[in-house]
Amino acid sequence: MTTSSFPDKFLWGGATAANQIEGAYDEGGKGLSIQDVMPRGITTAPSDAPTDDNLKLGAIDFYNRYIDDIALFAEMGFTVFRFSIAWSRIFPMGDEDKPNEEGLAFYDRLLDELEKHGIEPLVTISHYETPLHLARTYDGWSSRELIGFYERYCRTLFERYGARVKYWLTFNEINSVLHEPFMSGGIATPKTELTQQNLYQAIHHELVASARVTRLARDIMPGALVGCMILALPAYPLTPDPADVVAAMKTQHDSYAFGDIHCRGEYPGYLLRYFRDHGIELDITDQDRDDLRNTVDFVSFSYYMSMCETADTSARVTGAGNIFGGVANPTLQASEWGWQIDPQGLRVVMNDYWDRWQKPLFIVENGLGAKDVLVEIDGVPSVEDDYRIDYLNQHLVQVGEALADGVDVLGYTTWGCIDLVSASTAQMSKRYGFVYVDRDDDGSGSLERYRKKSFFWYRNVISSNGASL
Please report, as residue ranges, which positions from 330 to 369 form the binding site for ligand BG6 (by CB under 6 A): 365, 369
- Position with the least CB separation from ligand BG6: 424
What is the Cα–Cα distance from 424 to 427, expressed in whole angstroms? 8
- As a residue count, the chain comes to 469
Q: Which of 422, 436, 449, 465 binds ligand BG6 (CB under 6 A)?
A: 422
- Which residue(s) pair with 11 in the sheet? 411
How far from the centroid of its chain's Cα atoms is residue 251's Cα? Answer: 20
d(CA 223, CA 460): 31
Check residue 322 for interaction with ligand BG6 (CB under 6 A): yes
Does position 326 interact with ligand BG6 (CB under 6 A)? The reply is: no
Cα separation, 138 vs 198, in Å, equals: 13
180 forms part of the interface with ligand BG6 (CB under 6 A):
no
Element (H, E) at 308: strand 307-309
Are 395 and 302 a contacting pair, CB within 8 Å? no
Query: Is residue 172 at the binding interface for ligand BG6, with CB under 6 A as the rule?
Result: yes
**Is residue 365 among the annotated active site residues?**
yes
User: In angstroms, what is the minimal distance from the CB of 173 to ligand BG6?
Assistant: 5
Q: Does 35 bind ligand BG6 (CB under 6 A)?
A: no
Q: Is 124 in the site for ligand BG6 (CB under 6 A)?
A: no
Q: Is there binding between residue 38 and ligand BG6 (CB under 6 A)? A: no
Query: Do 348 and 398 touch, CB atoms closer than 8 A?
Result: no
Binding mask 128-167 for ligand BG6 (x = CB under 6 A): x---------------------------------------
184 binds ligand BG6 (CB under 6 A): no
CB of 150 to ligand BG6, least distance (A): 18
- State the Cα–Cα distance between residues 294 and 283, nearest whole angstrom: 19
Least Å from the CB of residue 14 to ligand BG6: 12
Q: Total residues at the site for ligand BG6 (CB under 6 A)?
A: 16
Cβ 17 to ligand BG6 shortest distance, Å: 5
Instruction: By CB under 6 A, name the one of 12, 13, 14, 17 that touches ligand BG6.
Output: 17
Nearer to ligand BG6, 143 or 322 (CB): 322
Give the closest residue to 318 by CA, choosing from 307, 331, 332, 330.
307
Structural contact between residues 106 and 28, judged by C-beta atoms closer than 8 angstroms: yes
Tell me which residues in 277-316 interact with ligand BG6 (CB under 6 A). Answer: 302
**307 torsion bin: left (phi>0), alpha (psi -120 to 50), beta (else):** beta
372: contact with ligand BG6 by CB under 6 A? no
Please give the sequence-ordered ranges of beta strands (E in DSSP) within 76-191, or none if there are none. Answer: 80-84, 120-124, 167-169
365, 376, 384, 448: which one is catalytic? 365
22 binds ligand BG6 (CB under 6 A): no
- Closest to ligand BG6 by CB, 314 or 333: 333
* Cα–Cα distance, 218 to 62 (Å, whole number): 31
Sign of CA dihedral 5, 8, 9, 10: positive
The identity of residue 265, as a single letter, is: G
The residues assigned a catalytic role are 365
Binding residues for ligand BG6 (CB under 6 A): 17, 20, 128, 172-173, 302, 322-323, 365, 369, 415, 422-425, 430
